[in-house]
Structure 1
Amino acid sequence: MKSVRMPVPGVSLGCDYNPEQWSPDVWREDAALMRRAGVDLVAVNIFGWSNLEPSPGEYRFDDLDEVIELMHAHGIRINLGTGTSSPPPWLTTLYPEVLPVADDGTTRFPGGRQAWCPSSPVFRDRALDLVGRVARRYGNHPAVALWHVSNELGCHNALCYCETSAAAFRSWLQGRYRKIETLNEAWGTSFWSQRYGDWSEIQVPRLALSLRNPAQLVDFQRFSSDELLGYYRAEAALLRKHSEIPVTTNFMVTAHIRNLDYWSWAPEMDIVANDHYLDHRLGDPVAELSFAADLTRGLAGGRPWMLMEQSAGAVNWQPHNLTKAPGEMIRNSLTHVARGADSICFFQWRASAQGAEKFHSALLPHAGTDTVAWREVLKLSETLDRIGEVAGTEVEADVALLFSWESWWSAEGEARPSQAVTYLDQVHSAHAALRELGVTTDVVPPDADLSRYKLVVVPGLYMISDTDAQGIADYVAAGGRLVVTYFSGIVDERDRIRLGGYPGAFRDVLGVLSEEFAPLKPGDAVTLSSDQKATLWTERLRTTTASVVATFEDGPMAGIPAITRNEHGEGIAWYIATKTDMSGILAEAAGLENTKSDKEVVRRRGTDRSYLFVINHGTTPVDHPARGEDLVSGKRVDGVLTVEAGGVAVVREEVS
């Protein structure tokens, strides 16, 4: 297992800094304020291309030199961007073929960011020329602690439908399938007379007059993720040629971006880093934060990771941009730390006066330092210093939740049983139920080694390979406990339906067979024999070897099993064939009482020490058994820890 060399010891505080937006006088003021605020790490040159190369072949590094030396003089380490995240206007003016094309065949123009096609050889050549120059100039600078490749790769331009992308897609397909006959079989092209006779006939899946081929859509997602990963590798290889500094880029493990399969990306990172912003379009943004942190830790293989970006207050890109209440920024930050982050960074340092993000919050707000927001920053900095000794420890979890970007892509295809059924809804619901029960969850891929977990949860895993399905069945047969939710196991990796009845790959381990889906309209509900309400989904289910836990009392499937339990080998597997409160089944499967709480409890453990994080998201004090020292307050804890409403505690536990 690859070790992780974090850019700064302890639990560091960091931020993005965009000095190109400010004068040198402001740079000096900012450096002094950063030191006052305890900032350890700044990301610079993220959007620096047009400053470093203002015209083709004309390079100007004086400003960046000065900023790096200024930070170095103030003891602040640098997370140095390669500057390639958005091309300068001269590049797309000279080479308009670099511009990306949407699925309707229209070009997307400059004026925003990421106006480039991931398959463009022109963009890659010019970008790598810049990367090489930056690497040679700063690769051995003592202030530079981390390389930051591009920025949020694929946030806007992951899927490009231009002719250059089409040629690259055909090449990718030839590498995957080798023979055109194999592709035809994998895509099921006998349907609707889509059979291909030559690779040249294949196009990217632009908008069509009807539904498009779902297997082609999934392969295009795979190709697009691989294409950007190839770009990342090209930049990283140049950086490693000229420097021994760790290399990473910022993932976007979040509810609204899904285009990159980060399971394939994570092994390429020296440090796994993620950007996360509370999404107030969701029912429970804080619960989603915990899920995203657990998934990021899964990508890091359980090792410490970086929160590369979060907001100090409101963002500017949601329909309603809510600010954070006093104490909320610390709770959010320590939730990430509890779940494995050893570096807490923000976008950005100083709030912009111009540009598209001028209303995005920052550590230093428009109103300056005599503000509640600034005092919150100082308090967070002090708190991170107090808990710095937790760095390097790992999160303790004995429950796993399986997650797959490929399943996300395929489950939300154009034609499916219900547009109201979404992959993340099932994933978030399962994770949130575990969190409310006080269970810390590892989020892992379908091919993970499950042997050490006492419970594995499989929410809505629509697509799964035979090999991965067998691994899950073997886990149960060996004594494991499994909970599977509806619309799981339906197709193989080609998006081909598993014939013989649903839930396909999981029929035997669950001991059930479903003949027919019967989705409910949004807003409709049915009642279960357990007195629970259920929505969105029912199905015509019968048991083969399973016992019935609950049936549908009414609705289209009245009298039909809704929740089942099956003994398989030495283990037990439950199936939940509807959208309902999963807490009871999950508590039974995990061997817990079905009691919910507003307190979030996570433990990080090292070889000779452990730390108990208790975060109170509620409006009243909560108690939790603990013994040791609360690093946040500095107080001794003898048996019972009381955390005030909205408060946080990190207890260095006594070894018994």
Structure 2
Amino acid sequence: MTNPWPLGVDGIAYGGDYNPEQWPLATRVEDVELMQQAGVTLVSVGIFSWAQLEPRPGEYDFGWLDDILDRLAAAGIKVALATATASPPPWLTRKHPELLPELADGTVLHPGGRQAYRVAAPLWREYAVAMTRRMAERYRAHPALALWHVDNELGCHVPHDFSDDAAAAFRRWLESRYGTVEALNAAWGTAFWSQRYDSFDEVLPPRSAPTYPNPTQQLDFARYSSDELLVHYRALRDVLREVTPHVPTTTNLMLSTGTKWMDYFSWAGDLDLIANDHYTRAHDPLAHVELALSADLTRGVAGGDPWVLMEHSTSAVNWQPRNRTKRPGEMLRHSLAHVAHGADAVMYFQWRQSAAGAEKYHSAMLPHAGTDTDVWRSTVELGAALKAIGEVKGSRVRSDVAIVWDYPSWWGVELDSHPSTDVTYPDRVLAHYRALWERHVSVDVVAPSADLSRYRLVVVPTLYVTSDADAANIAAAAAAGATVLVTYFSGIVDEHDHVRLGGYPGAFRDLLGVRTEEFWALQEGETLTLDDGSVADVWSERIHPADGTEVVRTFVDGDLAGGPAVTRRAVGEGSAWYLATRLDDAALGALTEALLVEAGVEPVLSGVPAGVEVARRQADDGRSWLFVLNHTDAPVDLPPGEVLTGRTSGGQVHAGGYAVLREQV
């Protein structure tokens, strides 16, 4: 069943954050006219407006917001209306400085930026709920209202608060999770370093300590922090559902390889629809590959349903060390790539580029230089393109390959006092994803608990924290016929960060048919060679394969020369592969090709040049649409189909161009 969608929004929604409180009335009038020219259909309003709406405690000024919502409604533009709680007004934290969050070392985070609040503080919750109710009751019947936008990027700047309010909430969370302090002691292994607790009242967040804090304490605090942010979302959402049950509710997640501390798979069931903010990295020449991974991860969190791209950028951002302007065509390709991977809405931060404040150099749909600009012309072109492909709305992406993504494993694998600081998480997921992207294969990014039965190939990178249930789920996929690849430092610990004894890789030992006696972490710059000439670094292991386990590749140098580096074991109708080192890109590509051949996975489209992205969306009635995104500097031939929109001519997609085609049924 498809999730709800913003009310009254047809086709692919288009727009962005709109902050009318920054501008005089004449500019607001112009804004609405220009939005109509650009084809804007949905804007987010009121995100950072609390100080304007309630300039003094209990004194409200809604006139300006009433006016702009009326103007937008008259223009046929729908609104994702925010709860206005994303940042408290200065008077609130001046009146209640005890609401300011704290770092692990006790540093207080003062007002002057945004998100300067303790998410677990009961008084903060009281204020935020009251503001949300006031917004809901005032605008419940407004014709512009299409979607509720709860708060904004929850946890973006303060994913962890270490204050006394957080300590009290953490204790409550622990008592709910473990029931007794004895169970807590067992889970945390507190017999080590005399850390035994006699009551929950003795427990603190993992504040700055003389040396490494308890690792399970750190892992549980990460879980608690993600859950507490979700609790805050629920509190505001519940008010909105009470007052406006007909209006869907969401918040903008930050699904990317750079956002670590919220377990969004655990949030998904509480959002009426999934919305995401994504920004590319200026320094990365392959930023479009990370974009595709993040979009597929967003679709995974959405359970395959269409989702909202709530924010991205038309050009440069303001918060990276060196903020690169997007090249010609890049804005359009990036936007359409999100649609190709499942988005049914394309929105930006923001509509009009700010003249003041910390984000004044962040690009917008309408830049400082006005309408005689490439950015504005691209804004208008994209609006027309999205209108032309409106029929794509509601269709889905279908994949034969899954990559497993797990937030607790990310948190756990990057804890301190591990075998190597070079063993990290998102970059390895991205490396495997890139190998598949380069081979034009469609990929779903899913949780380890997801239904894996429909996939031919399942890639499991560095699943460090592995429950019995998740291990069994992955093993069942292999038994049912999938080719499963598990990589090093997977299955090592249970959900309490306790090592699974008897030999690594713990939870996957039987599935893979290997037993690792000892890790062999490599030093910085150290490399190993495999028997096919592949180069590896970071990691190796002393492995003992079981009977029936095939050694596919061995190390030919180093301390483990002659030992297994890659193994394969037949499992039921499928197979389980183990990669016990970090391969370079060429070697990982070769391994990926072998896996795809064994699994019988075909590319989305054959014969596509390197650097050209292709993706397909399909409807239940058999219709399908092909997206061709040319990230190269040379034109490429158009595949068969009816071109709905694109930068094309002479049967080719322009260099740096795009095309969306309706395929023949």
Instruction: State the SS of the aligned residue for 1:317.
Output: coil
CA distance 1:350–1:634, change in 2 (3 Å): closer
Alignment-derived partner of residue 479 in structure 1: 481
Q: Does 1:605 align with 2:618?
A: yes
Identity of paired residues, percent? Answer: 52
AA in 2 matched with 1:69: D
Q: How does 1:51-66 map to 2 (within 5 A)?
A: 51-66=52-67
CA contact (8 A) 2:257 2:427 kept: no
> CA 1:307–1:486 in structure 2 vs 1: closer, same or farther (change >3 Å)?
same
Superposed CA offset, 1:265-312 (max 9, x none)? 111111100000002355632111000000000011101000000000
Match of 1:265 in 2: 267
- SS at 1:295 equivalent: helix
> Does the Cα contact within 8 Å between 1:483 and 1:586 map onto a contact in 2?
no
Match of 1:534 in 2: 536
Partner of 2:562: 559
Q: Which amino acid aligns with 2:580?
A: A
Q: Which residue of 2 aligns with 1:179?
A: 180
2:349 corresponds, among 347, 350, 358, to: 347
User: What is the deviation of 1:206?
Assistant: 0.3
Q: CA deviation at 1:242?
A: 1.1
Q: Distance in 2 between matches of 1:494 and 1:95?
A: 37
Alignment-derived partner of residue 130 in structure 1: 131
Q: Deviation string for 1:325-368 (max 9, x for gaps)?
A: 11001110111000000000000011111111111111111111
Q: 8 Å contact 1:280–1:320 — kept in the other structure?
A: yes
Matches within 5 A, 1:164-203: 164-203=165-204
Name 1:5's counterpart in structure 2. Answer: 5
- State the distance in 2 between where 1:483 and 1:568 align: 12
Secondary structure in 2 aligned to 1:588?
helix
Q: CA RMSD in A?
A: 1.6
Partner of 2:89: 88
Partner Cα distance (2:526, 2:62) in 1: 62
1:622 paired residue among 636, 639, 646: 636
Aligned partners of 1:296, 1:190: CA distance in 2, in Å? 41
Is contact 1:587-1:593 (8 Å) kept?
no
SS in 2 for 1:631: strand
Alignment of 1:163-562 (within 5 A): 163-243=164-244, 244-282=246-284, 284-544=286-546, 545-562=548-565
Q: Deviation of residue 584 (structure 1)?
A: 2.1
Question: Contact 1:631/1:650 (CA < 8 Å) preserved in 2?
Answer: yes
- What secondary structure, in the 3-state scheme, does the structure 2 residue paired with 1:394 have? coil
Change (3 A) 1:282 1:412: farther
* Contact 1:613 1:651 (8 Å CA) reproduced: yes
1:521 CA displacement: 2.4
**Residues 283, 494 of structure 1: alpha-carbon distance in 2 compared, 3 angstrom cutoff:** farther
For 1:644, the equivalent position in structure 2 comes to 654
Amino acid aligned to 1:4: P
Query: What is the rounded CA distance, in whole Å, between the counterparts of 1:63 and 1:375 in structure 2?
Result: 29
> Do the aligned partners of 1:363 and 1:377 also contact (CA within 8 Å) in 2?
yes
Please state how far the C-alpha of 1:2 moved relative to its aligned partner. 5.0
- Which residue identity is paired with 1:605? Q
Quick one: distance in 1 between partners of 2:588 and 2:252? Answer: 33
- The 8 Å contact of residues 617 and 646 in structure 1, kept in 2 or not, is answered as yes
| Offset, 1:464 | 0.9
Query: Secondary structure at 1:487's aligned position in 2?
Result: coil
Q: Secondary structure at the match of 2:477?
A: helix
What aligned pairs does 1:3-42 form with structure 2 within 5 A after superposition?
3-7=3-7, 8-42=9-43
- Residue 5 to residue 58, structure 1, CA distance change in 2 (3 Å): same
Give the corresponding residue for 1:589: 595
Could you tell me which residue of structure 2 aligns to residue 572 of structure 1? 575
1:599/1:614 contact within 8 Å kept = yes
> What TM-score do you get using the length of structure 2 for normalisation?
0.96
Is structure 2 residue 635 aligned with structure 1 residue 632?
Answer: no
Contact 1:4 1:303 in 2 (8 A): no
Query: CA–CA distance in 1 between the matches of 2:379 and 2:648?
Result: 22
Encode CA deviations 1:107-128: one digit per residue, 9 max, x unaligned. Answer: 1100000000010111111111
**Preserved contact between residue 526 and residue 552 of structure 1 (Cα < 8 Å):** yes
C-alpha separation between the residues in 1 aligned to 2:637 and 2:570?
Answer: 37
> 1:177: how far off?
0.3
User: Displacement of 1:56 after TM fit?
Assistant: 0.7
User: CA-to-partner distance for each residue in 1:92-118, whole Å, 9 max, x for gaps?
Assistant: 011111000001112110000000001
Deviation track 1:562-610 (CA, whole Å, cap 9, x = no partner) reads: 1111111221111111111322222222226899821212111002211
Mean alpha-carbon deviation: is it higher for 536-545 or for 256-265?
A: 536-545
**Partner deviation per Cα, 1:429-450 (whole Å, 9 max, x = no partner):** 1111111111111111111111
SS of the counterpart of 1:602? strand
- Counterpart of 1:218, as a letter, is L
Measure, in 2, the Cα distance between the counterparts of 1:508 and 1:462: 16
The question of whether the paired residues in 1 share the 8 Å contact of 2:392 and 2:617 is answered with yes
Spell out, residue by residue over 1:523-575, the C-alpha distance to the aligned partner (whole angstroms, 9 max, x if none). 32221111111121111122113211111122232221111111112211111
Q: Secondary structure at the match of 2:570?
A: strand
Q: Report deviation, 1:520.
A: 1.9
Q: Which residue of 2 aligns with 1:155?
A: 156
TM-score computed with the length of structure 1 as normaliser: 0.97
> 1:376 Cα deviation (Å)?
1.2
Which ranges of structure 1 fall in alignment gaps of 5 or more residues?
A: none
Could you list the per-position Cα deviations for residues 230-264 of structure 1 after superposition, in whole angstroms to 9, with x for gaps in the alignment?
11001111111111111000000122221111011
Letter in 1 for 2:33: A
Following the alignment from structure 2 to structure 1, what is the Cα–Cα distance between the partners of residues 575 and 322? Answer: 44
Give SS of 2:640's match: strand
Q: Secondary structure at the match of 1:395?
A: coil
Runs ≥4 residues deviating over 4 A: 592-596, 633-637
Q: How does 1:57-76 map to 2 (within 5 A)?
A: 57-76=58-77
Q: Which amino acid aligns with 1:611?
A: W
Residue 151 of structure 1 aligns to a residue whose secondary structure is coil
State whether residues 139 and 242 of structure 1, in contact with CA within 8 Å, keep that contact through their aligned partners in structure 2: yes
Q: Tell me which amino acid in the other structure corresponds to 1:529.
A: D
Aligned equivalents of 1:401, 1:604: Cα separation in 2 = 19
